[in-house]
Every structure is written in structure tokens, then in C-alpha cells.
Amino acid sequence: MNTALVLPPPAATVLVTVYGADRPGVTASLFAALEPFDVPVVDVEQVVVRGRLVLAVLVGAPTESDGPTALRLALHRWAAKEKLDVEVVTGLGDNRKRRDGRTHVTVLGAPLKAAAMEALAHEIAECHGNIDRIVRLAKYPVTAIELDVSGAEPDLLRERLARVATEQHADIAVQPAGLSRRAKRLVVMDVDSTLIEGEVIEELAARAGCLDAVAGITQRAMRGELDFAGSLRERVALLEGLDAGALEDVRASVRLMPGARTLVRTLKRLGYLVGIVSGGFTHVTDSLRDELGLDFALANTLEIGADGRLTGRVVGAIVDRAGKAAALREFAESAGIPVTDTVAIGDGANDLDMLAAAGLGVAFNAKPVVREQADTAVNVPFLDTILYLLGITREEVEVADASEEAIETAPAEAAARSGSGSGSGAASASASGPTLESGSASESGSTSGPASASARVQPAA
């Protein structure tokens, strides 16, 4: 007895595609024109680019013998009345099933050039992939486009598109499609040259008069030419005798990477846990943890002598390449999150183990050795572009920021209207709320908050 499942033949369908100037009410008007024919709605897709609408509706074909012709005539009359163009095509069934090998391809450019898109699309086709959907995630400070691709082997596609990224000076990320992308719930970042601009140890070295020597060692360590732990001890030894007050000076002068506040604020709104792990020092990382409301922080602690000067030594175990990966796992375990559901961001060779351990490892303005080994690389100077790799759009970020600003400023505005406070007081209350950012390019600013000397993994209170 043959028990194989026999699928019914595909039903007759009608694809209606509308083109023209976008305005409120077009979609409602189209479905009102379809309503008298009592046809089932199978699919709807719509896109608007620079005010021009493309609206596609797939419906079941009318069952009456003259139904398809009557539907076609009615739709052309409707389009003429609405001053729109319409195409009506009869056929069978729905979209074909998407093939295996489904991936999200995200491309970033500032600017994003046609040559980059041509090379990207060409390589997808060469890998036997099909582009099923394209959507823009952001238009500034970078252009971010996401493509849903099926039919291409993900590892091969990633390899081929990595070459395109290098040749076309664009950032291209390839990630498996599916629930795993939405499951990312812990983001862990390096600090120096990732969350903040520059290297803290070099700022200390400048005050100690040994900048050139320390900077040279730092660059060799970040390129992977030196053992990180040994190089850190060597650099810290050069700081011996520096007044500990320099730590506070450096902490106060730290500038966040453009986009850092936006990245952290948006992730926290979405329920992510955010941590930092650094080969730098707790005098800076603990302050960042408190200011940004981070959930975890781990770094090295400089030893301070009884005379109030640096001894040239580090207290406890050094947070090195292996230590960063261990910290990622420890953060994830303490939060009850699988390591596969984490994102790690870094720029140096000492971040490689952490990037490899995470579900998604992102090289941010990184050294070549890191870009080559990470899952994906971002080379634009805005940290919040990481959000686009998670499928979050710039518009969604800005709407959330505007809503929060309205909530924060409402009490101050109400007080001002009622005359319950002075003008200067109302202005001060309003200014204390969140500040909207323009592309996050002007976000850099000094950090503040108490310093701490603990190098333990510290969940924020």
C-alpha cells in the first residue's frame, strides 16, 4: 500500500502589483476594490522608496468562470481612479519554498557604492544563492542594507564575500538565518579602542614620560607578535613611580567611541545583558560599568604603594587572551545564557579567543589578524553599527530615543507650565534627560563615576 503523502495541485492565484506615488489610504482602497470578489488573501508585500510605492498582493483567483476577467477590469478601473499603475497576472500557487542555506547578509558602507553591491550580488549568484528579500536598516551615519539569501552554503558565501569586502572597502557580515540570531542575549566588549577611544595604558605612559616605549610594545602585542601577559608586565613596569593621581586624570579624560552610548542604551532596552572585559585597568572599567549601567566588568588592577605611587606591578591574575574568553563564559554562565547566544566585540589579538568562543564574534576596526579570523568585521568608526548586525534598524533606535526623551522631559515641562519652579530649574531638569544623537558621530564624551580597585567579575548592582 502506497502511504506517500500526495499534495493537492496548486490553486489558481492572481498577483496584483501596484506602482505609484505613496499616500495614506492606498492599501485600504485596494482591498476595498478586491472585497466584492470574496477572494482569500495569500500574501502581501510593500516597499516605499523616496515616496514611490510598490505594493504586491497575491490573492486566490475568483471561482466564477468570468471572475478573473471581471477582477482584472475592476482593478484597472480602480488604478485609473487612484492615478496609479497596476499589473494583474494570473498563475498557480504561492511563492516557491525557500531553499536551504538561509543566511542574512548585512552590508555597510560610508558611502555604499554600486560597485560593492554589484560584486556582492554577483558572488551570491556564483554561490548558487538567491536574494529573497532586501531591506535598508540605516541611511546614516552609514548606509546599512540587509539581504535574505537562500541556496548558498554559508561558509563558502562568507569566504567569498570577505574578499568582496576587502576589494570594495565595505563591511559585509554573513550570519545563519533562523531563531539563533534573535536568541543573542549577552554582548561582551573589549574596552580600549573598542568601547573607548585610544589605549589607557598609553595615556598613563604619556604622563610617566615613556609613551614611545609603551606604545611600541602595545602595537606589537595587539598584532599578536608578543605574549600579552608578558607585554603588559613590561609596560606596567615602565609606569613605576607615577603618582596614582594620574589614574583619576586619565579616567576623567576617557572618551567613549562614537555610538557607544547608543549601542548600550538600545541593547539594555531590548533586555540584553552587556559586559566589558579588558586587558586594561579597573580604575577605568569600573567607572564605565557604573556610568553606562553595564552588567559585568573585568579588568586588571594596578598596585599602588604606601607612598601613593604605582609600584610597576599588577595585582592578581592578568586578564589576557585566554582570560577574556574565560570571562565571556563566566558572564554567560552566571546569567544562565548559552555561550552560543552571545556576541563578542574586540579589536586586538588578545580578543581572538573571546571572539571565537562567542556565538557571533565581531572585529571592530581591528588589526588584520583579527579581521581574518572573526565571524565578521566592522571598519566604520561607529560602535552602534553593531546593532545592524542584529537586525535592529536606525529608525527603531531613534523612535525609542524620542519616546524616552518625551517621558523624561514631561515632568519638567509640566512644572514649567504650572509655575511650580524657576525657569532655570526647569531647564536643568530637562537637560538631565537622555540626549538624542545625530548618527552617534558626536557622541564622544568624558566618563564619570567612582573608581574601584577590584578585578573580580562584578555584576552591577
3-class SS string, the chain: CCCCCCCCCCCEEEEEEEEEECCCCHHHHHHHHHHHHCCCEEEEEEEEECCEEEEEEEEECCCCCCHHHHHHHHHHHHHHHHCCEEEEEEEECCCCCCCCCCEEEEEEECCCCHHHHHHHHHHHHHCCCEEEEEEEEECCCCEEEEEEEECCCHHHHHHHHHHHHHHHCCEEEEEECCHHHHCCCEEEECCECCCECCCHHHHHHHHHCCHHHHHHHHHHHHCCCCCHHHHHHHHHHCCCCCECHHHHHHHHHCEECCCHHHHHHHHHHCCCEEEEEEEEEHHHHHHHHHHHCCCEEEEEEEEECCCCEEEEEEECCCCCHHHHHHHHHHHHHHHCCCHHHEEEEECCHHHHHHHHHCCEEEEECCCHHHHHHCCEEECCCCHHHHHHHCCCCHHHHHHHHHHHHHHHHHHHHHHHHHCCCCHHHHHHHHHCCCCCCCCCCCCCCECCCCCCCCCCCCCCC
Contact 400, 436 (CB under 8 A): no
Contact 394, 139 (CB under 8 A): yes
Q: Which residues are catalytic?
A: 190, 192
Q: How far is it, in rounded angstroms, from Cα 226 to Cα 219?
A: 9
Q: How far is it, in rounded angstroms, from Cα 37 to Cα 433?
A: 54
3-class SS string, 24-93: CCHHHHHHHHHHHHCCCEEEEEEEEECCEEEEEEEEECCCCCCHHHHHHHHHHHHHHHHCCEEEEEEEEC
